[in-house]
Structure 1
Amino acid sequence: MNSETRQLLAQIRACTLCEKHLPLGPRPVVQFHPKARILLVGQAPGRKVHASGKPFDDASGDRLRNWLGITADTFYNAKQLAIVPMGFCYPGTGKSGDLPPRPECAPAWRHKLLPHLEHQKLTLAIGRYAHDWHFSGPKMTVTERVQRWREYWPEIVPLPHPSPRNNLWLRRNPWFETELIPQLKQRVQQLIN
């Protein structure tokens, strides 16, 4: 990793841009290496991830690793998988779960960091905020976007959030696990081997 990338990551990890809005204070969580071939774009860390400082260190991460067909060792290898959420810090909890990613984060850092990915072949966009950033054209619901996954294949894959809160969505959309997931596992294996 070159010194410019190291310096940028240090700046991100020291960021206090939206500190006054964060109930637990800033703790940017990002996993990054320029050699990563897969970019995973989530929403923002939850409370448990904020505590550990490790992305997707929760039940959502267990489900996501299963969807990708990879072990935790592979998932947490920054040279294999860059994890750059839409918001780097835990935004707090609202009435129906965690609040959205802070709006200051993505504009401040994404355009600076993502060009450092020298070998990226696949983007996994998880949830509405990642979809809105990575897909142009008309706004769609998460379901509509994920249903159209073949249109973006194989460079970018829209995914629902792997949270246990989405169990009902998964039951209502069985095609996701029977059609998309096997293809996704195969694509991921091609890129990590």
Structure 2
Amino acid sequence: MDQLRADLSACRLCADRFRATATRHEPRPVVWFKPGARLLIASQAPGLRVHEAGTPFWDRSGARLRDWLGMDEETFYDRSRVAIVPMAFCFPGYDAKGSDLPPPAICARVWRDKVLSELTDIRLTVLIGGAAMNWHLGKGPGVTERVRRWREFGPDVFPLPHPSWRNTAWLKRNPWFGEEVLPALKARVREVMEA
């Protein structure tokens, strides 16, 4: 796995693509996993703050996600316990209007199966956002419907909306998420991490 992590950290497949974005940035893969991890967080792609820090969820969305999981910062950032494997390992950049660009599909095609095949101790997968849901569950309904049907995916997979503060209105419109999904998620995280 050390060689895989090194190869992924050195990846420059999207260098030309990123230089053509409004942010004109260089690739900086955020590689956050080690052998032994029990929890897989399958997310979308790093944002600008994560790109700058080199640490996943190093922003307000990370604080919200840790709260949803019932997990402290030290445990969350222990790579041997929590693997954070986004659909794209680099910040995709912004378009001319300042909106986030989607994760480049080439990243998942090249790296995802290689990484996941090395993470043999995963007991719980948390899917954040539509791209991760489509990869792991196949094409299907939108994020809200999949999160609403969370029980169908068994105790080992939880689909979640993105914990971005931009989704605060979504959380207010869908109170069942906090009432039903989060208590079950926290209980399952405790069970997996303490086993």
In the TM superposition, what are the counterparts of 1:39-118 in structure 2 within 5 Å? 39-94=40-95, 95=97, 97-118=99-120
Q: TM-score, normalised by structure 1?
A: 0.95
**8 A contact 1:86–1:105 mirrored in 2:** yes
1:30 CA drift (Å): 2.0
Structure 1: distance between partners of 2:37 and 2:59: 22
1:49 CA drift (Å): 0.3
Determine if the alignment matches structure 1 residue 15 to structure 2 residue 11.
yes
1:97 CA drift (Å): 3.2
**8 A contact 1:124–1:156 mirrored in 2:** yes
Question: Which residue identity lines up with residue 72 of structure 2 in the other structure?
Answer: T
The DSSP-based 3-state class of the residue aligned with 1:97 is: coil
Identity %: 52
- 97, 108, 121: which one aligns with 2:123: 121
Q: Please identify, of 83-92 and 18-27, the stretch whose mean Cα deviation from structure 2 is larger.
A: 18-27
The DSSP-based 3-state class of the residue aligned with 2:105 is: coil
Structure 2: distance between partners of 1:166 and 1:185: 20
1:148 CA drift (Å): 0.6
Question: Which residue identity lines up with residue 128 of structure 1 in the other structure?
Answer: G
1:134 CA drift (Å): 0.6
- Structure 1 segments, 4+ long, off by >4 Å, are none
**8 A contact 1:30–1:85 mirrored in 2:** no
In the TM superposition, what are the counterparts of 1:143-158 in structure 2 within 5 Å? 143-158=144-159
- Mind listing any 5+ residue stretches in structure 1 that lack a counterpart? none
Question: What is the CA deviation profile of residues 63-93 of structure 1, one whole-angstrom value per residue up to 9, with x for unaligned ones?
Answer: 0000000111000001110000000001112
Structure 1: distance between partners of 2:183 and 2:43: 20
RMSD after superposition: 1.0
Question: Which residue identity lines up with residue 139 of structure 1 in the other structure?
Answer: G
Determine if the alignment matches structure 1 residue 184 to structure 2 residue 185.
yes
Q: Which residue of 1 aligns with 2:140?
A: 139
Question: Which residue identity lines up with residue 17 of structure 1 in the other structure?
Answer: L
Structure 2: distance between partners of 1:59 and 1:83: 16
**8 A contact 1:40–1:84 mirrored in 2:** yes
Structure 1: distance between partners of 2:170 and 2:109: 30
1:96 CA drift (Å): 6.8
The count of residues paired between Structure 1 and Structure 2 equals: 188
